[in-house]
Structure 1
C-alpha cells in the first residue's frame, strides 16, 4: 500500500460518525455555514462542511510536524 510522507495510507476509506457538540459550538458551526453560503453563494450543511474543516486541520497538523523545531 502506498503511503504519504507521514506513513499514512494515501487512499482512505470513509467512515460515518456521530458526535455531540455543545450548544455554543453548534451555533458557531451554523454561523460558519451561513458565512460560507454568503461568501461562496453555495448552501452547504454543517454536516457537509465538517469533513473539509477537519481535513484542513489535519493537513495543517502534519505540516506543523514537518517544520523544523524553532531554536529557543
Structure 2
C-alpha cells in the first residue's frame, strides 16, 4: 500500500506564507480519513498498536457539520 500524498498544490497552500490563515481547512474529507487509515495500518504492521483503529468511529464530524450548516 502506497502512502497517501499531499500533492504540490496542497504543499504550497500549507507551507506558503499567508498571514490570513486562509490555508487552514477544517473539512474532514475522504483524504483525511484515508491518511488516518494508512497511519493505523502502519502502526499495526510495525507493532506500535495491538489492533487497528476504527477511524470512522474515532473521527467525529458532528461539530463540523453543525458549523457548516449554520454558515449557510
Give the TM-score of the pair, scaled to structure 2: 0.30
Pair member with larger Rg? 1
Q: Using CA pairs under 8 Å that are at least 6 residues apart, name the structure with larger relative contact order, 1 or 2.
A: 2
